[in-house]
A and B are shown apart, each in its own frame.
Chain A
């Protein structure tokens, strides 16, 4: 039974997002078509879909909101994952692959070809990540906000309603519009229901085991983009040096309760941590790539989805990712003297903009629910 649950979780947490991410790959340049980017892209698509389906359900469905949500969300996820897998299979057989899963610069697939310095740095990094995952699984981190966010997931799973019950007391309440658009707890409830695991176990023991490596997958892309050299071994060494030090930085970044590092390792399962440690680094990674390849459609599509997907973690995340997008877009446009970058950046905030508008309408009572 436990094995079945673990298998089911692997399907929903790894296989499905990965296959969804395969949909994005054809829009990216060949060297970008890596398993890591497929997984990141898949998660971005998944959270955008979560918001797209979840928000209307929260706003319009009073009773059995969670089961209604699952009836739409699960088939949509499966459909997109199958589509991604089919597309990949077709392209693979037609073009003899995309260079995917083959040797990518500095990737771990070339471990045997690495120099000893690269190997040591890589192993050090992997050791630090394994340590963080071990601590996430074996240590309980108390946070008062769990009485709100964690309970929202449990309420969805056990009471079948979304944001219409006061999580502190259990009494019925009007929709909590300040939080109702952030569907992260609903995603955790979905994982629990799809795998037969209690939502609190999903939050505290399962999700960190995925989100911690996922965050480092983004940092790996950032490290590669920043430290790319002509010499492949030098790139590998520097990237893994970057990764090992970033992993150490996370462990010792607890200089206050407010840093994203503190959130990353003590509140990994909360949407706000996801904002600081997935959404914001992902914006940075996309812009690092966009500066070089501003015409790459896939990156703009990802950015568009990301600016909307951020809403799953918190309303502030959408605002921050959109502000970063517009800000970087403006800086790049001025630097390159190309207004088109700024226009594209603004357009990629359209989904996020609608989210913010909806949030303002709901919180200011201009749209009744």
Chain B
């Protein structure tokens, strides 16, 4: 029980970042605790948050949360029910009720000083198109996407493209996807091992794995080294886009085409 309590405490610390912005919320909460007279506001923004934090830290809460089939990693979202933004801003609005202009300047300065600018995140970049995925992915997908809307192409992609490919086209399958990039999920995939397991790709090993899965395309990242020349192993270079080399495997293509012909005849 103590262990669960400590875990929940760590989740709480990670959630607030223990940054100064949390101190602002705490200050506003204390101010409301002392000065707020309206019963409704006290119930919702003074007492309820306290109850929620106590319940959040209470070990049995987390136990039941997981027992209910919910993902333990999302337990922090229980804290979303404490509206820290509303509590803080409401507290400061009350504090500066009679000096609103000063309140605006002081509170804004405090928020800017204590907070963290969301657009400074390493995950945010200038959008290259309306899809908000790299142009390179769009171009590669356009090249390998089958013309017939009822058919699929299967392609092995380098890790940096994996998240985006199927956001652009659900008609391009991949032998492995994001699940292989999250180590704690512990997935296993022979093609991934052949493609990413070694610094230099052994094309013979990779081809054996991709042919087992009837994968028609292999995309190699710029500068990716190979033990053998891909063309010598039977691959055909169908394009090079922003340094990415896109190879087609005629053997898999032929097999997949024969299936398609079979199904078309059946229809």
Measured CB to CB, the residues of A under 8 A from B are 117, 121, 124, 135, 137-144, 146-148, 150-151, 154-155, 157-159, 165-171, 178, 198, 200-201, 204-205, 219, 222, 226-227, 237-238, 241-242, 244-246, 248-256, 258-262, 265-266, 272, 275-276, 280-281, 284, 287-288, 291-292, 315-316, 319-320, 323-324, 327-328, 331-332, 335, 359-360, 363-364
**How far apart are the CA atoms of A287 and B39 in the complex, in Å?**
13
Q: Are B125 and A260 in contact (CB under 8 A)?
A: no
Q: Taking the complex as formed, is B169 at the interface, i.e. its CB lies under 8 A from any CB of chain A?
A: yes
Taking CB atoms, residues of chain A closer than 8 Å to B171 are 158-159
Q: Are A138 and B174 in contact (CB under 8 A)?
A: no
Q: Are B178 and A147 in contact (CB under 8 A)?
A: yes
Contact partner of B44 (CB less than 8 A), chosen from A135, A147, A284, is: A284
Q: Are B177 and A141 in contact (CB under 8 A)?
A: no
A-B contact count (CB 8 A): 246
Interface residues of B in 158-177 (CB under 8 A from A): 162-164, 166-177
Taking CB atoms, residues of chain B closer than 8 Å to A242 are 89-90, 93
Q: Are A141 and B132 in contact (CB under 8 A)?
A: yes
Taking CB atoms, residues of chain B closer than 8 Å to A147 are 162-164, 166-167, 177-178
**How far apart are the CA atoms of A198 and B167 in the complex, in Å?**
10
Known contacts A148-B178, A151-B166, A327-B51: A363-B69 contact under CB 8 Å: yes
B11 nearest CB across to chain A (Å): 8
Contact partner of B174 (CB less than 8 A), chosen from A150, A169, A256, A328, is: A169
Q: Are A258 and B123 in contact (CB under 8 A)?
A: no
**How far apart are the CA atoms of A188 and B83 in the complex, in Å?**
27
* A-binding segment of B2-10, B17-25, B222-230, B253-261: B17-25
Known contacts A140-B124, A168-B166, A226-B90: A323-B70 contact under CB 8 Å: no
Taking CB atoms, residues of chain A closer than 8 Å to B179 are 168
Q: Are B100 and A158 in contact (CB under 8 A)?
A: no
Q: Are A245 and B163 in contact (CB under 8 A)?
A: no
Taking CB atoms, residues of chain B closer than 8 Å to A291 are 40, 43
**How far apart are the CA atoms of A194 and B86 in the complex, in Å?**
36
Q: Are A249 and B44 in contact (CB under 8 A)?
A: no
Q: Taking the complex as formed, is B118 at the interface, i.e. its CB lies under 8 A from any CB of chain A?
A: yes
Known contacts A167-B166, A259-B15: A246-B85 contact under CB 8 Å: yes
Contact partner of A140 (CB less than 8 A), chosen from B15, B22, B128, B162, is: B128
Known contacts A142-B163, A259-B15, A359-B69: A266-B169 contact under CB 8 Å: no
Q: Taking the complex as formed, is B1 at the interface, i.e. its CB lies under 8 A from any CB of chain A?
A: no
- Could you list 18 further interchain pairs (A-B, Cβ under 8 angstroms) beyond the known A242-B90, A245-B104, A288-B40? A138-B126, A147-B177, A148-B178, A154-B168, A168-B166, A170-B154, A170-B174, A200-B168, A227-B93, A246-B85, A252-B115, A252-B118, A255-B22, A265-B118, A288-B44, A323-B81, A327-B48, A327-B52
Q: Are A253 and B173 in contact (CB under 8 A)?
A: no
Contact partner of A246 (CB less than 8 A), chosen from B40, B86, B154, is: B86
Q: Are A204 and B16 in contact (CB under 8 A)?
A: no
Known contacts A144-B178, A200-B168, A320-B80: A315-B85 contact under CB 8 Å: no
**How far apart are the CA atoms of A139 and B126 in the complex, in Å?**
5
Contact partner of B116 (CB less than 8 A), chosen from A166, A167, A254, is: A254
Q: Are A331 and B80 in contact (CB under 8 A)?
A: no
Identify 25 residue pairs between A and B in the complex whose beta-carbon atoms are under 8 Å apart, listed by A's number.
A117-B100, A142-B123, A142-B163, A146-B163, A147-B164, A148-B178, A151-B166, A155-B166, A158-B170, A158-B171, A165-B170, A168-B174, A204-B130, A205-B131, A244-B104, A248-B111, A251-B118, A256-B15, A272-B77, A280-B83, A288-B44, A291-B43, A292-B40, A320-B77, A327-B52
Q: Are A238 and B118 in contact (CB under 8 A)?
A: no
Q: Are A258 and B76 in contact (CB under 8 A)?
A: yes
**How far apart are the CA atoms of A222 and B166 in the complex, in Å?**
40
Q: Taking the complex as formed, is B148 at the interface, i.e. its CB lies under 8 A from any CB of chain A?
A: no
A114 nearest CB across to chain B (Å): 13
B159 nearest CB across to chain A (Å): 12
Q: Are A315 and B121 in contact (CB under 8 A)?
A: no
Known contacts A204-B130, A256-B15, A287-B44: A140-B167 contact under CB 8 Å: no
Taking CB atoms, residues of chain A closer than 8 Å to B34 are none
Chain B's closest residue to A149 (CB) is B167
Interface residues of B in 36-56 (CB under 8 A from A): 39-41, 43-44, 47-48, 51-52
Q: Are A331 and B118 in contact (CB under 8 A)?
A: no
**How far apart are the CA atoms of A147 and B174 in the complex, in Å?**
12
